[in-house]
Structure 1
Amino acid sequence: MTTVTKFSRRSFGAMMLASTAACARPPAIPPLPEVQPFLEGYGPIQDAGYNLPGIPTEYLQGVNRRMSGIYNGEAGPNTLDVDPYAKFLYHVRRDGTTTRYPVGVGRAGRSIRGSATMKLMREWPGWTPTQNMLRTEPEVYGPFRAGIPGGLRSPLGARALYLYRGSRDTFYRIHGTNDLESIGNSGSAGCIRMFNQDVIHLYNQIEAPMKVLIRSREESLRVDPENYGRGIELPAKIISPEELLGPEAEALDRPPEFDDA
């Protein structure tokens, strides 16, 4: 005897839905966007209302990053010791320790030499090319002869330290930059460039006035022969912030937002 099972329209519909659900594949979950890893101290930071991007690790290979240790150079305490041949700046503390920062320096024959005094410190400084810059490389600096106010467009970056000899401004600066490739190389018109993250870090550790020593070739060879001649010489250029900052470029024309203090 054959038993025939009867289904109501409602029960049959429920079975069909269950069967369909069992066979359907779960919806695909889109992959999470890849997070750019940054070395400690070189990630994105907020400063004066700006979002500064992190430094990609490709620019921080080997010795081309901030390091701290015992100072073994020839400068006195409470000094900034710049080695234009090894492309480093040392903040020499009173206790004999130091933080070493990678820098970009001037091309051959364009770097400051000897000693100077850092007398002024500025956050988000404006920049105007010198008459010598305009005369020797008008194709690079001519469009900026009127100057650039402080902010994301300024080639001096997030901070600048102004070097003097006596009461005379040397027009050389230690400053931040958006030209990441220049750090560890020779490529500026003579100033000493740092990653913005590094120049902010240094700025927060020091006070003016402060002695600055620029090592001679002989001193560099004595103290750091291993890194002597590090880097290559690059042509002069000014990096457009739009190329680097992406969405943050909307804030290019907004002045920095300083605390009331």
Structure 2
Amino acid sequence: MIKPFNRRQFLMLGASAAAAPLLAACGAAGTAQLRAASFREQARADLMRYAAIEDGEFTIPAIPGNRIDRQFWRQVVDDPFGELPGTLVVDTPNRFLYLTLQDKQALRVGIGVGKQGFTWSGRATIQMKRRWPTWTPPREMIERVPELEKWAKGQPPGLDNPLGARALYIYQGGRDTLYRVHGSPEWWSIGTAASSGCIRLTNHDIVDLFERVPNGSPILVIPDNRFSLDTLA
């Protein structure tokens, strides 16, 4: 025989039923709050990635991170090339530089590359490193841009210097190729083909990379074969 609920049992059952959706709602709200907190934390980290940097006598200005395509932000990714750890790989066609890490990972940053006709490719070595380097334009560049004659003996270090906050000097067979991996005040040029052959990073990214890459590090620069003589004709 089924016994009917008494009044106390009925009230307890009703309270439990009413509490169930409230608990579910609390759980959903808690998850939403965690997601929001995680989002805020990530946004803060993103902001700090390109915040102003006090660097000796110079202050590197902040970069508005939302003005740089997110794919070009400094980040750890799966290594697409399989070079030995410690190798720099310049993916010229896709505008990325990779520093090969352990466990098939790589640190990737966005870069600006040489304009068509000014690119260089091959295997070489980072033979020298400089903080806040002096920039001396090659004679051929001065002939193309006569205004650069004033820097024939070198442009002093500074926020307007084309080599930026750091430079890695590329040597091949013991000889200076005259190509550099360097910082640039023109952060908006990342992702473009705008240089005279050098590999440019944001000043923030080159400061980070500089500490990770010792002298003698190998570098592989991959050519951009998207333009054939037929296409250029």
TM-score band (shorter)?
Answer: 0.7 to 0.9
Distance 2:107 2:85 in 1: 12
Q: Are 2:129 and 1:108 equivalent residues in the alignment?
A: no
> What does the per-residue CA deviation read over 1:199-224, in whole Å, with 9 as the maximum and x for residues that have no partner?
00111112111110011346xx9xxx
Paired residues in the alignment total 182
Contact 1:106 1:186 in 2 (8 A): yes
Matched, 1:81 2:89: yes
SS in 2 for 1:214: strand
What is the match of residue 53 of structure 1?
61
1:68 to 44, 60, 76: 76
Report the identity percentage: 36
**1:101-129 Cα shifts (integer Å, max 9, x gaps):** 00001101211111111011111111100
- 1:150 maps onto 2:157 in alignment: yes
Letter of the 2:59 partner, please give it. Answer: N
Report the 3-state secondary structure (helix = DSSP H, G, I; strand = E; otherwise coil) of the residue aligned with 1:39: helix
**CA distance in 2 between partners of 1:154 and 1:62 (Å):** 26
Residue identity in the other structure for 2:220: L
Choose which of 14, 33, 48 in structure 2 pairs with 1:40.
48
Alpha-carbon displacement from aligned partner over 1:31-64 (angstroms, at most 9, x marks no partner)? xxxxxx8633111110012221111124322312
Gap runs ≥5 in structure 1:
1-36, 222-261
Matched, 1:161 2:149: no
Alpha-carbon offset, residue 171 of structure 1: 0.4
Matched, 1:185 2:192: yes
Pair 1:194 & 2:198 matched: no
Question: Do the aligned residues in 2 keep the contact of 1:111 with 1:190 (CA within 8 Å)?
Answer: yes
Q: Please state whether the residue corresponding to 1:77 is helix, strand or coil.
A: coil
RMSD value over aligned CA atoms?
Answer: 1.9
- Residue equivalent to 1:92: 100
TM-score (norm 1): 0.65
User: When you count helix as a share of all residues, which structure comes out higher?
Assistant: 2
**Superposed, which structure 2 residues align to 1:13-28 within 5 Å?**
none
Distance in 1 separating the partners of 2:147 and 2:188? 17
Contact kept in structure 1, 2:161 and 2:185, CA below 8 Å: no
Q: Is the partner of 1:204 in helix, strand or coil?
A: helix
Distance 1:95-1:74 versus aligned 2 partners, 3 A rule: closer
CA distance in 2, matches of 1:149, 1:126: 5
Counterpart AA for 1:103: I
The residue type paired with residue 149 of structure 1 is P
| One-letter amino acid of the structure 1 residue matched with residue 160 of structure 2 | R
TM-score by length of 2: 0.72
Q: Select 1:205's aligned residue among 189, 198, 212.
A: 212
The secondary structure found in structure 1 opposite 2:47 is coil
